[in-house]
Structure 1
Amino acid sequence: MKVTAIETHICHAWRTNWVFVRVLTDDGIHGVGEATLEYREQTVAQACKELERYLVGRDPFDIEAFWHDTYRDVYWRGGPVLMSALSAVEMALWDIKGKALDVPVWQLLGGRVRDRVPCYANGWFAPAVRPDEFAEKARVAVAQGFRGLKWDPFGSAYMNIGKRELNDAMACVQAVVEAVGPDVDILIEGHGRFNVPTAIRIAQRLEEFDITWFEEPVPPDNLDALAEVKQRVRVPIAAGERLYSRWDFRALLQRGAADYVQPDVSHAGGIGELRKIAAMAETYNIAICPHNPSGPVANAATLQLAACTTNFFLLETMSNDVPHRREISTEQARFEAGALLIPDGPGLGIDLRIDEIAKHPYEPRNLRHYTGALTQIRPPDAVSYFNPETSNTPKK
Structure 2
Amino acid sequence: MKANRRKFIKRSALAAVAGMTAFSTRSTGKALEALHWQEEALDRVLTEPVLRLEELKDPVWIETVELLRKGDNFICRVRSKSGAEGLSVSNNMQMKHLYPIFVNRIQPFFIGKDARDWEKLLEEVYVYQSNYKLQNLAFWVPLATLEFAVLDLLGKLAGKSMGALLAETIYHPEIAVYQANNYRGKSAEESIDLIEKHVRETEARALKFKVGGRMSHNRDFPPGRTEALIPLVRERFGSEIVIYADSNGSYTPEEAIRIGKLMEEYAYDFYEEPVPFDWYEETREVTKAITIPVAGGEQEPSMHGFRWLIKEDALDIVQPDIFYFGGMVRSMKVAKMAALKGKPCTPHISGSGLGYLYMMHFVSAVANAGPFHEFKGFNNEIPLDSPTSSLSSEGGKVTVPTGPGLGVTLDPEFVAAHRVVTG
TM class by smaller structure: 0.7 to 0.9
Show CA shifts across 1:291-325 (max 9, x none).
Answer: 01323533222222212211011454343466524
Following superposition, the deviation at residue 191 of structure 1 comes to: 0.9
CA distance in structure 1 between the partners assigned to 2:158 and 2:221 by the alignment: 59
Question: Aligned runs of 1:1-396 on 2, under 5 Å?
Answer: 1-9=60-68, 19-36=74-91, 38=93, 40-49=94-103, 50-75=105-130, 77=132, 78-109=135-166, 110-123=168-181, 129-143=186-200, 144-155=202-213, 158-161=216-219, 165=223, 167-320=224-377, 323-325=380-382, 327=383, 329-330=384-385, 332=389, 333-353=391-411, 356=414
Which range moved further: 25-34 or 351-360? 351-360
Which range moved further: 350-359 or 329-338? 350-359
CA distance in structure 2 between the partners assigned to 1:67 and 1:225 by the alignment: 31
Residue of structure 1 equivalent to 2:12: none
Which range moved further: 60-69 or 222-231? 60-69
- Matched residues, number: 352
Kindly indicate whether the alpha-carbon contact (under 8 Å) linking 2:136 and 2:325 is maintained by their aligned counterparts in 1: no
Give the secondary structure class of the aligned counterpart of 2:99.
helix
Following superposition, the deviation at residue 10 of structure 1 comes to: 5.3
Task: Give the TM-score normalised by structure 2.
Answer: 0.75
Which range moved further: 60-69 or 313-322? 313-322
CA distance in structure 2 between the partners assigned to 1:11 and 1:169 by the alignment: 40
Following superposition, the deviation at residue 261 of structure 1 comes to: 0.6
Q: 1:10 to 1:312 in 2, by over 3 A?
A: farther
CA distance in structure 1 between the partners assigned to 2:164 and 2:356 by the alignment: 17
Q: Which amino acid aligns with 1:57?
A: G
Give the secondary structure class of the aligned counterpart of 2:186.
coil
Q: 1:157 to 1:276 in 2, by over 3 A?
A: closer
Give the secondary structure class of the aligned counterpart of 1:150.
strand
CA distance in structure 2 between the partners assigned to 1:163 and 1:208 by the alignment: 22
CA distance in structure 2 between the partners assigned to 1:28 and 1:299 by the alignment: 28
Residue of structure 2 equivalent to 1:387: none
Kindly indicate whether the alpha-carbon contact (under 8 Å) linking 2:210 and 2:245 is maintained by their aligned counterparts in 1: yes
Kindly indicate whether the alpha-carbon contact (under 8 Å) linking 2:214 and 2:247 is maintained by their aligned counterparts in 1: no
Show CA shifts across 1:18-46 (max 9, x none).
Answer: 654222333332223354274x4334222
Give the secondary structure class of the aligned counterpart of 2:314.
coil
Show CA shifts across 1:57-89 (max 9, x none).
Answer: 122222112212112335452322112222221
Q: Which amino acid aligns with 1:343?
A: P
The runs of 5 or more residues in structure 1 that have no matched partner are 362-396
Task: Give the TM-score normalised by structure 1.
Answer: 0.79
Following superposition, the deviation at residue 145 of structure 1 comes to: 1.1
Give the secondary structure class of the aligned counterpart of 2:211.
coil
Give the secondary structure class of the aligned counterpart of 2:76.
strand
CA distance in structure 1 between the partners assigned to 2:198 and 2:248 by the alignment: 22
Which range moved further: 83-92 or 219-228? 83-92
The runs of 5 or more residues in structure 2 that have no matched partner are 1-59
The percent of aligned pairs where both chains have the same amino acid is: 23
CA RMSD of aligned residues (A): 2.9
Following superposition, the deviation at residue 281 of structure 1 comes to: 0.5
Give the secondary structure class of the aligned counterpart of 2:116.
coil
Following superposition, the deviation at residue 106 of structure 1 comes to: 2.1
Following superposition, the deviation at residue 6 of structure 1 comes to: 2.4
CA distance in structure 2 between the partners assigned to 1:246 and 1:352 by the alignment: 32
CA distance in structure 2 between the partners assigned to 1:120 and 1:257 by the alignment: 24
Following superposition, the deviation at residue 359 of structure 1 comes to: 8.4
CA distance in structure 2 between the partners assigned to 1:163 and 1:31 by the alignment: 43
Q: Which amino acid aligns with 2:120?
A: A
Residue of structure 2 equivalent to 1:370: none
Following superposition, the deviation at residue 243 of structure 1 comes to: 0.9
CA distance in structure 2 between the partners assigned to 1:83 and 1:52 by the alignment: 13
Q: Which amino acid aligns with 2:259?
A: I
Structure ID, larger Rg: 2
Give the secondary structure class of the aligned counterpart of 1:336.
coil
CA distance in structure 2 between the partners assigned to 1:163 and 1:44 by the alignment: 30
Q: Which amino acid aligns with 1:158?
A: S
Kindly indicate whether the alpha-carbon contact (under 8 Å) linking 1:5 and 1:24 is maintained by their aligned counterparts in 2: yes
Kindly indicate whether the alpha-carbon contact (under 8 Å) linking 2:151 and 2:162 is maintained by their aligned counterparts in 1: yes
Show CA shifts across 1:204-224 (max 9, x none).
Answer: 222211111111111111101
Which range moved further: 212-221 or 131-140? 131-140
Following superposition, the deviation at residue 358 of structure 1 comes to: 9.2
